[in-house]
Structure 1
Amino acid sequence: MPKLRFLFLAVVVLAITAGCASKENKSETAPTANVQNETPAEPNNETAAEEPPVEDPIPPDTTTLANTSGKTLFRSITSNKNGDGHASIGIVSKGGTVIAADPNTMATDTTGLIKADIITVTHNHSDHTDEAYIEANKLAGEVKYSEYALETFTVKDVTVTGISSGHSAIFSPDAPSNVIYVYEVDGLRVAHMGDVAQNELTEEQIGQIGKLDIAFLPFSDVTENGFTPAKTVKILQQLQPKIASPLHYTPEAAEVILQELGITERSETDVLTVDKADLDKIKGTSYVFLK
């Protein structure tokens, strides 16, 4: 009997030991994989700022105002050759200094860029300026730009003076509606008078303009723009230049003006080249139309 009790106790102990071991194994936590929950990078919606396309420079026009004459050169430089648009004049000194006076409708896409050393604009009307041409010149290199400014400056062998004037019969010296530009070049005194439309010049203006060799001014009869033949006749009588050349013009008005002034020496040309000796030979005033 004691042996049986001993065996029974031994069996019970073994059973209890096995159960405890089983519970311990079940209570152990299974290892987990080391997974990194990385947040995916957000897409970069920012794009690099687009740079404006670089425009090819306009090729230079080396022929229109080429001057090998040994004299001062003058030429109409607008592509608008009708009477209303005829206001843009190119002037080139003996030394090659280029002036573009009231450039408008410049045909840079077909002829190339006339590189100017000086650009002057007499007033703010669209038929006397060309923003694309002016900006192209600024990009192409140094240029002196004078926009209806009462100033005097010198570039190379040319001195320029802006003089207050009126685009109508009403003239306020302190608030000019037009600026007359006078160029001193190669011993000549040349005026581009823009759309001057005063009934007559004042004594002060005549003194500032001085003794002219060449005057560019309207030969027109468009009263809504202030132009009449009588005004041009009066101004030419006051200034008495050696050469008078039309800006805005009508053939009928030009004929009236020339008849009134008794000008019989008349010519038309693509290019005018003159020096002081040539002008000294002219008696009175000669009319030259730049085609």
Structure 2
Amino acid sequence: MIDPFSKEIGLKPPKIKDDIVLVSHGHDDHNNIEEINPEAFLINTPGEYEKKGIAIRGISSYHDKVEGKERGLNTIYIMKAEDMTICHLGDLGQEKLTENQVDEIGDIDILLVPVGGNYTINYKEAIEVIGQIEPKIIIPMHYKIKDLKVDLEGPEKFMKELGLTPEKVDKYKISKKLLPLEEMKLVIFDPHT
């Protein structure tokens, strides 16, 4: 599980047995660790970790455009498992990644990128970050959906500007052999299914 949220944001937290929990930053809407499995392996700082065959690396970044002065730090997580590399940008707020961050992130198969703006990068900045990383699969996150009490934009502008036809799913299963070889693929979770 990444960034466990509380019901105060208007959504019902999922009931899953989590073995590993990643927290990108300490704000209440991403750090509801009281509700997680108490035996879960909790990661909430940059560094290198390994648990259950998953290599996890946390890279420091900013949650805002003024080097953390407004919202503090954010941790970007890179996870390697089953011959694939996944990057979760957390609540990235800096307009673009530094060269050092891009180098540390490396080659990414699947990128989870915030697109809702306000508290994170907006859809235009998200597209710039996608261009820096060049993943095979893009999964937008942190955007307005029904019942969410947080002021964010929806994913529509992002999808239009990106210019890729999204594959809308309620669950997504992927393996190395199913990764796209040529063009990037956009996958969006439909919270209403």
**Alpha-carbon contact 1:267-1:288 (below 8 Å) kept:** yes
| Alignment pair present for 1:155 and 2:56 | no
**Higher Cα radius of gyration:** 1
Distance 1:258 1:112, change over 3 A: closer
Compute the displacement of 1:187 (Å).
0.7
**Alpha-carbon contact 2:6-2:13 (below 8 Å) kept:** no
Tell me which residue corresponds to 1:208.
104
**170, 174, 187: which is aligned to 1:288?**
187
Compute the displacement of 1:256 (Å).
2.5
Compute the displacement of 1:247 (Å).
1.7
TM-score of the two chains, using structure 2 as the length reference: 0.82
Deviations 1:219-251 (A, max 9, x none): 1132xx243222111101111111111221148
Tell me which residue corresponds to 2:164.
263
Compute the displacement of 1:257 (Å).
2.4
Matches within 5 A, 1:32-43: none
Number of aligned residue pairs: 177
CA distance in 1, matches of 2:21, 2:120: 25
Compute the displacement of 1:122 (Å).
0.1
Tell me which residue corresponds to 2:32.
130
| Alignment pair present for 1:242 and 2:136 | yes
CA distance in 1, matches of 2:115, 2:4: 18
Deviations 1:17-67 (A, max 9, x none): xxxxxxxxxxxxxxxxxxxxxxxxxxxxxxxxxxxxxxxxxxxxxxxxxxx
CA distance in 2, matches of 1:248, 1:133: 20
**Alpha-carbon contact 1:201-1:235 (below 8 Å) kept:** yes
Matches within 5 A, 1:112-127: 113-127=15-29
Aligned sequence identity (%):
30
Deviations 1:42-99 (A, max 9, x none): xxxxxxxxxxxxxxxxxxxxxxxxxxxxxxxxxxxxxxxxxxxxxxxxxxxxxxxxxx
Q: Report which of the two has the higher share of helix.
A: 1
TM-score of the two chains, using structure 1 as the length reference: 0.56
Compute the displacement of 1:112 (Å).
8.5
**Alpha-carbon contact 2:88-2:112 (below 8 Å) kept:** yes
Compute the displacement of 1:132 (Å).
2.4
**Alpha-carbon contact 2:111-2:137 (below 8 Å) kept:** yes
Gap runs ≥5 in structure 2: 146-152
CA distance in 2, matches of 1:113, 1:285: 32
**Alpha-carbon contact 1:188-1:213 (below 8 Å) kept:** yes
**Alpha-carbon contact 1:240-1:284 (below 8 Å) kept:** no
Distance 1:231 1:157, change over 3 A: same
Compute the displacement of 1:111 (Å).
9.4
Question: What is the identity, as a one-letter code, of the residue corresponding to 2:64?
Answer: S
CA distance in 1, matches of 2:78, 2:67: 19
